Amino acid sequence: MAGNSFGTAFRFTTWGESHGIAIGAVVDGVPPRLPLTEEDIQRYLDRRKPGQSRFTTQRREPDTVRILSGVFEGLTTGTPVSLMIENQDQRSKDYGDIARKFRPGHADYTYQEKYGIRDYRGGGRSSARETASRVAAGAIARKVLGDGVTIRGALVQVGPHAIDRNRWDWSQTDANPFFCPDAETAARWETYLDEVRKSGSSVGAVIEVVASGVPVGWGDPLYDKLDSDLARAMMTINAVKGVEIGDGFAAAELSGEGNADEMRINPDGSVRFLSNHAGGILGGISTGQDIVVRFAVKPTSSILTPRQTVDIDGNETEILTKGRHDPCVGIRAVPVGEAMMACVLADHMMRHRAQCGG
């Protein structure tokens, strides 16, 4: 059933297949009179773009976005913003194997069984290429949120190698090809991922996204909680297998005393929390602290080692995936996670305004 839309007040719908003519998104509900140019969107697409280092797929896609509607004389009009990115470098000639064999870990088998048909070229609709549309929508969401809200993502673990959080430096995330906030760890990953890449293997990763400047009060309990919407949002990203808010799974090991985020009053009368185990959300509503979300990405399923599988006719066979793939899809998931955070927050900013004014 129709499932290609996300959000309620700020709502986007994406379309397009990896090796089709184009991909795109329609963003509906955008507040009017926001300045918006293609360049505003392009800068975020460029962060996600493939082929920027040897650690991501070498597919050459300029990922140039066009705004087809909803903007007039440089301002949004309140009508749907239609965005299109043409596919350039499909290399679609030879799909022999992938057309008939199901790649383990990919959506080949489930799409085929659900729909009785699938566009197997480059993964079709299930390809991570679709995430470009999300990043484009996220760029508009940031405009909706305005300068008061800052959304930043970082890669915090690659395979078994986690960063040292004491060395966290946001400025580093633009200084290495991994969006890594810890320069030392980034250097170590470089060596590690070179090995992974050369062996034709792949690894998983963990991404952390933080939103600062979110006021207290966003989120709609009980079923559209800010955290449940974030969990859903992150879990829609390709290859994601886990989502945490604040302390996440570590909270299971805490005592009630250890988990309590105590509160004090600032000299100016505002409220101050002494810790943020909750990740900035209580009862599904933002506390005014940083919103902290982490999600785990499984290793790229496309690898050079043959794996046992079956084909569309019910025969046993094996498959290995050549082609141009990311050894660690987690890297490019960073801007995607930021975009999803932005979209969830823009939606809840507007939803809060609907019910509570202001």
Closest separation between CB of residue 107 and its own copies, Å? 2
Q: Which of residues 2, 148, 174, 267 is near its own copies by CB under 8 A?
A: 2
Q: Angle at the Cα of 25 (from 20 to 30), degrees rounded to 5?
A: 170
Query: In the complex, what is the shortest distance from the CB of residue 95 to its own copies, in angstroms, rounded to a whole number?
Result: 12
Enumerate residues 296-335 that contact its own copies by CB under 8 A: 296-303, 305, 307-310, 314-316, 330
Q: Quick count: other Cβ atoms within 10 Å of Cβ 261?
A: 16
Q: Under rule CB under 8 A, which residues in 248-277 are in contact with its own copies?
A: 248-265, 269, 271, 274, 277
- The stretch among 45-53, 156-164, 170-178, 179-187 that binds its own copies (CB under 8 A) is 156-164
> Do 333 and 55 meet the contact criterion of CB atoms below 8 Å apart?
no
- Nearer of residues 49 and 129 to its own copies, judged by Cβ: 129
CB neighbours of 180 closer than 8 A, spacing ≥ 6?
A: 154, 155, 156, 163, 172, 173, 186, 189
Both tokens of 237, joined, read 């990203």
CB 289 within 8 A of CB 263: no
Q: Answer yes or no: is 143 a known binding residue.
A: no
d(CA 11, CA 347): 7
Determine which residue in the list 49, 142, 225, 332 makes contact with its own copies, applying CB under 8 A. Answer: 225
Longest CA span, the chain: 72
Please enumerate in sequence order all residues whose Cβ is within 8 A of that of 174, keeping only pairs 6 or more positions apart, or say none: none
Among 61, 63, 182, 244, binds its own copies (CB under 8 A): 244
Q: Are 317 and 116 in contact (CB under 8 A)?
A: no
Among 37, 110, 167, 169, binds its own copies (CB under 8 A): 110
Cα–Cα separations (whole angstroms), residue 239 to 131, 243, 332: 12, 12, 12
Nearest one of 4, 8, 26, 40 to 350, comparing CA atoms: 8
Q: How far is CA 276 from the centre of its chain?
A: 23
Give least dist CB 9 to its own copies, A: 5
Binding to its own copies (CB under 8 A) within 32-51 occurs at 32-33
202 is in an annotated binding site: no
Least distance in angstroms from the C-beta of 132 to its own copies = 13
Structure tokens belonging to residue 312: 């569309």
28 binding its own copies? (CB under 8 A): yes
Comparing C-alpha atoms, which of 274, 269, 277 is closest to residue 253?
277
Per the structure block, which two tokens stand in for 273?
Answer: 């929390």
Please pick, from the candidates 61, 182, 220, 338, the single residue that binds its own copies as defined by CB under 8 A: 220
Site string for its own copies, 121-150 (x = CB under 8 A): ---xxx---x--------------------
**238 known ligand binder:** yes
Q: Segment 69-108, which members bind its own copies (CB under 8 A)?
A: 69-70, 72, 75-82, 84, 102, 104-107
Q: Is 125 annotated as a binding residue?
A: yes
- Which x/- pattern over 49-68 shows residues binding its own copies (rule: CB under 8 A)? -----------------x-x
Minimum CB separation from its own copies for residue 301, in Å?
Answer: 6
Residue 84 DSSP SS3? strand
